[in-house]
Structure 1
Amino acid sequence: MAQEALSWQTVGRGLWEITAAVQGVIGRSGIGTGLCQAFLRHTSASLVLCENADPSVRSDLEAFAARFAPDGDPRYRHHLEGPDDMPAHLRSVFTQVELTIPVRGGRCALGTWQGIFLWEHRIESMDREVLVTVWGH
């Protein structure tokens, strides 16, 4: 088993591909077959498997999230860190902060167009950490 913490500083709201970094942990682990778990240690961002070829998919996801959880909605009571505070928590809760992906041939067994993305839900730049655990043989 191997485990590494990966860190990023996001530059605001959006989806940031982290596939290569996760693949790097698997490569360094020496595990050829098993499972990889990525866990985001935050409550206002998400991890998602997403289309990695056409960036319009990511902009469409962001547009949908803006309609689903709009900034500054007067119905929100939680706004300690600004108008994007509660919407970021909603987006995180209704997506996911953990992914488990099969490992085959020493790599994530992703589909042709799949990538692993950190989805930042806050408007400002944030420090984010993903804990990656790989186990198998």
Structure 2
Amino acid sequence: MVVQERLEVTTSGRGTVEITDQLQRIAAGSDIKTGLCHIFLHHTSASLMLCENADPAVRYDLEAYFSRLVPDGDPLFTHQQEGADDMAAHVRTVLTHSELNLPVTQGRCALGTWQGVYLWEHRFSGYRRQVTVTVYGE
């Protein structure tokens, strides 16, 4: 059996938006007890991450690290059509993930105690991001 649903996630600019609850809702509604949940982000300037969900400082520190690793407006970048954060956002996406696979066990995404799934916006402005969630199994 396969169930597929598209989510629209609104971001408010650079930072993270937790989507764990939406994924759990889709997995539970699929009637699939054992299988996989595949999450795909349809964008090149945002990413998905499986991250600690207990302390927001973890996500803050990741953002600080990536700001140092991939600085906005780096003179190395020639692609700057949409502003100083454009190419940096693309590099961040390539270094992270545009898709994730999670096990489905007993009708739920089998996450660890302190794990959550986040959409990580890499642009300064907010966007409406499209995510396709496919749950398959039996």
Q: Same fold (TM over 0.5)?
A: yes
1:33-71 Cα distance to aligned partner (Å, 9 max, x none): 100000000000000000000000000000001001101
1:56-110 Cα distance to aligned partner (Å, 9 max, x none): 0000000001001101111100000000000000000000100000000110111
Q: In the TM superposition, what is the alpha-carbon distance from 1:131 to its structure 2 partner?
A: 0.2
The yes-or-no answer on 1:75 pairing with 2:76 is: yes
Alpha-carbon distance between aligned partners in 2 of 1:125 and 1:47, rounded to the nearest angstrom: 16
CA RMSD of aligned residues (A): 0.5
Residue 66 of structure 1 corresponds to 67
Q: Which runs of 5+ in 1 are unaligned?
A: none
- Three-state SS of the structure 2 residue aligned to 1:88 is helix
1:7-32 Cα distance to aligned partner (Å, 9 max, x none): 01100000111000011111111111
Residue 44 of structure 1 corresponds to 45
Alpha-carbon distance between aligned partners in 1 of 2:105 and 2:28, rounded to the nearest angstrom: 11
The yes-or-no answer on 1:129 pairing with 2:130 is: yes
Corresponding residue pairs, total: 137
Consecutive aligned runs of 4 or more in structure 1 exceeding 3 Å deviation: none
Q: Which runs of 5+ in 2 are unaligned?
A: none
The yes-or-no answer on 1:88 pairing with 2:89 is: yes
Q: In the TM superposition, what is the alpha-carbon distance from 1:5 to its structure 2 partner?
A: 0.2
Alpha-carbon distance between aligned partners in 1 of 2:42 and 2:136, rounded to the nearest angstrom: 20
Alpha-carbon distance between aligned partners in 2 of 1:106 and 1:29, rounded to the nearest angstrom: 8
Residue 114 of structure 2 corresponds to 113
- Three-state SS of the structure 2 residue aligned to 1:100 is strand
Alpha-carbon distance between aligned partners in 1 of 2:35 and 2:9, rounded to the nearest angstrom: 26
